[in-house]
Amino acid sequence: MTPKQFLEFMRKNKSEMMDLKFVDLLGTWQHCSFPIDVLDEGTFTEGLGFDGSSIRGWQGIHMSDMLAIPDPHTAVLDPFFAKPTVSVIANIVDPVTREDYTRDPRFVARKAEAFLKSTGIADTAYCGPEPEFFIFDEVRFEQSQNTAMYKIDSVEGAWNSARFEEPNLGYKPSFKGGYFPVSPTDTYHDLRGEMVEEMKKVGIVVEAHHHEVATAGQSEIDMRFAPLLKMADQLMWYKYICKNVARRHGKTVTFMPKPIFEDNGSGMHTHFSLWKGGKPLFAGKGYAGLSDLALHAIGGILRHAPAILAFAAPTTNSYRRLVPGFEAPVNLCMSARNRSASCRIPMYSSSPKAKRVEFRCPDPSCNPYLTFPAILMAAIDGIKHKIDPGEPLDRDIYEMTPEELADTRKTPGSLPEAIAALEADHEFLLAGNVFTDDLVEAWVAWKKDKEIDPIRLRPVPYEFHLYYDS
């Protein structure tokens, strides 16, 4: 869509307002709306100004002026405004140099796609994330000098089996008992269906939706795979739509990885493959029907997985999920069908087009514009250096002894470990200037100063249970 076509699209849909969206360093959409009267074709080259010092992880106040350049190819009608409004995703540039901003995550995704083509290895990286999320009825939380608490509630919560509900009809999914139940146990079929309809309106192709394993409304909606940048854009729409449809119905959605104690967390298993000239490159005659190129790509992902997780599992809460016992993929190895392995090769289809690797460690709190490129850069590094993925783990890990598992590397046990891994291992990300030292340093500094240290310094409620009477 050209700028002229964009403006015609607005008029055709009787839209008097354009909503400009861009993503901050941590992966949250920001927005500002502009009347059609102030827009012209020059807007798409000159950009629209904003204060970059007010965006997390971006500019200092002494260099705050930034420009957002709308990408007309991303234009859609926004489903959540009362009057017709066209939403468009923007790229960020420096107003003085007119260069793309290195800390704009969408720029990283654009560079990753360009770098892949420049290598000659492939021309397209397909990503197919499976974000999981919880639908709650209420959430309350507080943190002050003398108080720390949170409380979540859900009509589906197993803990509400005895609650007075006038009447309580039962049908509460048990802990770890929420996978694929029909109604009336699954009370959110219609709500997820509404989310799917809104996704279709903005061009997202949905393959399935269902209740997930955990109690209390854990759900999943699966999108069809798409090229890396397009899928990152779609994932932002996905989260926006899920949250706003839930709000329509007095519900709240969270993509926080582990909101419920002693039940499964929310992951984002990410399917990944490389294609060239319209042909898949991952199919072959090796293990699980994979090509040598695919096996080397997996080798790169496994070698760099701890550093990737600094972006792909980017919160302290992520490591409440990445623990043994809750279907979490904590073993850095590959396997056909084994869901305890971090790199699984799905075996649902024998078609070469379906051959892919499923990297199971990421969670939906991540920034997709950084996570998908990090996976791609690790795969490219593995292909270039012919990294061996090691022997597959095709046994049930719960039947293996600690001695048998001793040689299998594990995912980091905490966000500080993942950040340390990124600091020690990020050269593979810098190839082709896809990631920059500036962005990596800003990410590390934010995580240490704004998340790791504040949580490290605060007592948590369970410590009172353990230690108050010491």
Q: Which token pair is 459?
A: 């007592």
Is 58:93 a contact under the CB 8 Å cutoff? no
| Catalytic-residue membership of 358 | yes
| Catalytic-residue membership of 73 | no
| Catalytic-residue membership of 269 | yes
Q: Which token pair is 99?
A: 């260069």
| Catalytic-residue membership of 130 | yes
Q: Which of 16, 40, 51, 197 is catalytic?
A: 51
| Catalytic-residue membership of 391 | no
Q: Which token pair is 293?
A: 């190129």
**Segments in 313-367 forming alpha helices (H):** 318-321
Q: Which of 113, 156, 220, 263 is catalytic?
A: 220
Helix axis angle, 292-312 to 415-424, nearest 10°? 120
Q: Which of 71, 358, 381, 451 is catalytic?
A: 358
Measure the CA–CA gap between 40 and 92, rounded to whole angstroms: 18
Helix axis angle, 292-312 to 368-384, nearest 10°? 140
CA angle 305/117/114 to nearest 5° reads 80
Q: Which of 132, 222, 263, 381 is catalytic?
A: 132
* Ramachandran quadrant class, 312 (left: phi over 0; alpha: psi -120 to 50; beta: rest): alpha
Q: Which of 11, 163, 339, 385 is catalytic?
A: 339
Is 314:422 a contact under the CB 8 Å cutoff? no
Q: Which of 106, 192, 269, 344 is catalytic?
A: 269
Measure the CA–CA gap between 345 and 358, rounded to whole angstroms: 6
Half-sphere exposure of 117 toward its Cβ, with a 13 Å CA cutoff? 10
> Pairing relation of β-strands 341-345 and 331-336?
parallel
| Catalytic-residue membership of 395 | no
**Signed CA dihedral, 114, 117, 121, 127: sign only:** positive
* Ramachandran quadrant class, 337 (left: phi over 0; alpha: psi -120 to 50; beta: rest): left
Measure the CA–CA gap between 38 and 41, rounded to whole angstroms: 10
Measure the CA–CA gap between 429 and 379, rounded to whole angstroms: 11
Q: Which of 360, 381, 426, 451 is catalytic?
A: 360
Measure the CA–CA gap between 467 and 464, rounded to whole angstroms: 5
Sole residue written with tokens 């309580």: 168
Is 364:301 a contact under the CB 8 Å cutoff? no
Burial of residue 415, with CB atoms counted within 10 A of its CB: 0-12 exposed, 13-18 middle, 19 or more buried: buried
| Catalytic-residue membership of 456 | no
Residues in contact with 68: Cβ distance below 8 Å, sequence separation at least 6, in sequence order: 20, 22, 32, 47, 48, 49, 50, 90, 91, 92
Q: Which of 130, 137, 186, 222 is catalytic?
A: 130
Amino acid (1-letter code) at residue 52: G
Q: Which of 212, 222, 381, 451 is catalytic?
A: 212
- State in Å, rounded, how far the first CA of the chain is from the last one: 67
**Segments in 120-263 forming alpha helices (H):** 189-201, 228-248
| Catalytic-residue membership of 220 | yes
| Catalytic-residue membership of 209 | no
Q: Annotated catalytic sites, by residue? A: 51, 130, 132, 212, 220, 269, 339, 358, 360
